[in-house]
Chain A
């Protein structure tokens, strides 16, 4: 599949329904990106107002989830989509699910920011946190871009980035454990940072899952639970 040709169906209504679902998905993606940014900023700047806003935003994301699910259910019931249309509906449904979970993780990050603010301190493990946070944000953006552009190679690159994030996550956790052993008074704060790191790492996983859906949509190949080298082969075919 080279490009999304929603305007080519004999049924103009079907065209419009698919286009609507696509638009809503992109809108939801935008909301989630904003939510991650707000949550992350609230954590780095220990800003409880921002954190509250990030938590509030989760409601909008949840609403979008329901709207899009309704649309895709209607399309399945009425249009019996096949081939690329079917793959599109399936990948939209799954991507919506991933986005909703990303929203949940962003809200969790914001909650950690509030707890850190309550103890009156900033996040330790600061460097790793900032680094992983930036990477993960980029991954979500690239995954959504690859969906919008139906770019399987860009999706593959998101999957590759997730591997790097997982490695960095492991390193950051080890360094936090060391901090906790050296200074037991830091444990509570270190745990907040750890939870935030954990949420970021999960967001990376969800971005990877979105990328997998993009490859399924574009190439018709299910690449879930496959080695990256195998995925690369399928994408380049």
Chain B
């Protein structure tokens, strides 16, 4: 980073002390983070984030590219563990368990905190096997009939059952992009997670497929906690209950989505969602 860029970055945060709005909740918390810092090597990507995500809540995280929203999302199920130079400090608690505790089983954690990615990434297997894979490796089912039921329930919950029920043995890669993404969501919910993380789940989809995923998010929020990172502010406004705005690794503002999109308090939030350059 050049000296100039660094100076201007610090200028932005001159006087910045804490997040605007109410990042923590009094009750019904599913996941909470306290003072979370993330470093990639000697570069700090996240600065002291405190944030709660409620039960049955859809939390949207927005911010310009490089603001740390995806990095932050990935800390919530230890996806960053695979990056050697990534170092995370602070507490991330899921239902009372610190997920970075050394006794935490990461495989089990990722069943409890599932993830849906930007590009649909079905396994090169049949539609059925894509959904059955998780419950099988986690030993959630033993008999074939049980497995059939889990697969059907997951596909139904992901609103794709009617489209695939007659071709469960066909390769998942033959589905359309939107169908593949819903299949990935079915795969995630097949292992009965508590939290679903979504990293720009619609950015590779057309408007109709996007609308179906958004509809699905609303339905899923009845049973799951959802944290979604999106570049589409309109999507954040449509699907989420609360919105968190990140800027250069800081959590700038959190609030009810209704308020953030009509009357945000912080100037950086305002500038971002109105499309003004800072």
Binding site for B on A (CB under 8 A): 1, 5, 8-11, 14, 80-87, 219-221
Contacts and interface: CB of A to CB of B under 8 A. Distances in A.
A221 B265 CA distance: 12
Interface stretch (B43-51, B168-176, B266-274): B266-274
Given A80-B234, A82-B233, A11 B275 contact: yes
Most buried by B among A5, A81, A84: A84
A82 B237 contact: yes
A10 B273 contact: no
A68 to B, nearest CB: 20
14 contacts: A8-B277, A9-B275, A9-B277, A11-B275, A81-B274, A82-B233, A82-B262, A82-B273, A82-B274, A83-B262, A83-B264, A87-B262, A220-B262, A220-B263
Contacts of A221: 263
Contact of A8 (B262, B273, B276): B276
Interface of B: 233-234, 237, 260-264, 269-271, 273-277
Contact of B261 (A10, A11, A82): A82
Given A83-B269, A84-B274, A220-B263, 7 more contacts: A1-B270, A5-B276, A9-B275, A83-B260, A83-B261, A86-B262, A220-B262
Contact of A84 (B234, B260, B270): B270
A60 B275 CA distance: 34
Contacts of B270: 1, 83-84
B24 to A, nearest CB: 23
Nearest to A221: B263
Contacts of B233: 80, 82
Contacts of B269: 83
Most buried by A among B273, B275, B277: B275
A11 B263 CA distance: 21
Contact of B276 (A9, A80, A86, A219): A9
A10 B275 contact: yes
Nearest to B260: A83
Contacts of B262: 82-83, 86-87, 220
A178 to B, nearest CB: 49
Given A220-B262, A220-B263, A83 B277 contact: no
A83 B253 CA distance: 14
Contacts of B237: 82
Contacts of A9: 274-277
B263 A83 contact: yes
A169 B277 CA distance: 50
B238 to A, nearest CB: 11
B145 to A, nearest CB: 49
Contacts of A87: 262-263
Contacts of A219: 263
B234 A83 contact: no
A10 B276 contact: yes
A167 B273 CA distance: 44
A220 B266 CA distance: 13
